[in-house]
Amino acid sequence: MLRGLKKAVWVLTLGALSGVVGCGPVMYSLGVAGASEAVEQARQAGAAESAPYEYHYAVEHLNQAREFANEAEYQTADEMATIAEEYGNRARDIARRRQRERGR
């Protein structure tokens, strides 16, 4: 519940700032936050070993998102972050499923 509240406050704050500084950085910030969380969850689930393709694909897209943001290419950065989040979630799910299968 607290995590959801923190995320809601974060979204509202970034939404309020979007009128001041523009849309690109705000959308990127939201995207990279979700991607970072997904990659971290995958790492904690052991995805580097259990789902290496998906995990490393997510990590590299997250790195690319950050690089594009540094060059103020926010739309491309957001696209990279979206892919990183998708593959981070896939890696996490695969790793968790393989852990359950090993536990049987």
For the stretch 33-47, pLDDT in tens is 999 999 999 999 999
Q: Is residue 55 part of a domain?
A: yes
Whether the CA torsion 11, 71, 90, 36 is positive or negative: it is negative
Q: Is residue 15 part of a domain?
A: no
pLDDT-above-70 percentage for the chain: 74
Full domain range(s) for residue 97: 29-103
Q: Is residue 51 part of a domain?
A: yes
d(C-alpha 98, C-alpha 50), whole Å: 7
Q: Is residue 84 part of a domain?
A: yes
Model confidence at 80: pLDDT above 70: yes
Domains: count for the chain: 1
